[in-house]
Homo-oligomer: A and B are copies of this chain.
Amino acid sequence: MNAPTGHSDGTVGKALDVLEAVAAAGRPVRFSELLATERWPKATLYRLLQTLTNQGMLVQDAREGTYRLGLRLVQLAHRAWSSATIAPVAGPFVDRLAATLGRTVHLACLDHGQVLYLDKRSARTPLPMYSDAGKVGPAYCTGVGKAMLAFLPEAALRSALRAQAFDTHTPATITSAEALLDELAQIRDAGLAFDREEHEPGIICIAAPIRAATGEPLGALSVTSSTLRDRLEDLAALGPDLMTATTDISAALHPWAHPDP
């Protein structure tokens, strides 16, 4: 069934479930709050919280006894980010693109059918907007998401499609797998994807995939703007710059694939 919270394998799984529960709260949580979810018996929950706490995955607030995510996660994530993703290589190119275009640029990758944002450079005037490194978002209604889905191999695409919620965020949101497949075909032809206010009203973007030598998408880059500042045609005009950046990143990722003078 591939349930979101897969059947916990062993003690470690249970502990990570607790960690996730604390994360999901998004704020300091009291013992009794977690207990009230009826997911774990009292003593068990207590022990797991203890373990996670003295491992630094959680921090217990001395004052009120509440639990928060620990900073050890931030350290681990930094290493994950810099050794397991295209982010460190892409960084300078993201910089350059954002500076050249004067607009917000996002770098993202696909994780379990969802978009995971890896990096971002804000425009001078940062728009308040849903995004940030480490944040996850939907794939079916974002530029970066569609750009990556479009170039996914058959099998991966099918499993990714099953993970899409197809919720309606705006009137423009694509809400069926069929419609999305049409869109993806066009993106495949153009090599570029657009977000036509499909996720947030007033927010549009143009995106392009970053592909491995094998063709599989490793990530995507997008240039975001608002309808107040740009029309879709304006963004389309930035396509060449965007694609220069993505191909440069690909080249930096696969130096061997590009004969050097």
Q: Does A59 contact B (CB under 8 A)?
A: yes
Say which residue of B26, B55, B126, B133 sits within 8 Å of A12 (CB atoms): B55
> Chain B residues with Cβ under 8 A from A122's Cβ?
95
Q: Does A220 contact B (CB under 8 A)?
A: no
Q: Does A100 contact B (CB under 8 A)?
A: no
Between A26, A48, A54, A83, the greatest number of chain B beta carbons within 10 A of the residue's beta carbon is seen for A83
**What is the bound-complex CA distance between A20 and B56, given in angstroms?**
12
Evaluate whether A12 and B11 lie within 8 angstroms (CB atoms) in the complex, with A73-B73, A74-B81, A75-B134 already known: yes
> Chain B residues with Cβ under 8 A from A85's Cβ?
71, 74
> Chain B residues with Cβ under 8 A from A95's Cβ?
122, 126
> Chain B residues with Cβ under 8 A from A20's Cβ?
76
**Which residue on B lies nearest to A117, using beta carbons?**
B78
Whether A81 pairs with B134 at a CB distance below 8 angstroms is yes
**What is the bound-complex CA distance between A111 and B73, given in angstroms?**
12
Whether A12 pairs with B15 at a CB distance below 8 angstroms is yes
Between A59, A126, A134, the greatest number of chain B beta carbons within 10 A of the residue's beta carbon is seen for A134
Whether A52 pairs with B12 at a CB distance below 8 angstroms is yes
Q: Does A193 contact B (CB under 8 A)?
A: no
Give A49-74 as 1s and 0s: 1 = Cβ < 8 Å from B's Cβ atoms: 00110111101000000001111111
Say which residue of B10, B51, B135 sits within 8 Å of A9 (CB atoms): B51
Whether A71 pairs with B51 at a CB distance below 8 angstroms is no
Q: Does A223 contact B (CB under 8 A)?
A: no
**A242 CB to closest chain B CB, in angstroms?**
22
Q: Does A23 contact B (CB under 8 A)?
A: yes
10 pairs of A and B residues whose beta carbons are closest in the complex: A78-B134, A77-B77, A69-B80, A68-B84, A73-B80, A12-B15, A73-B77, A11-B11, A23-B79, A71-B111
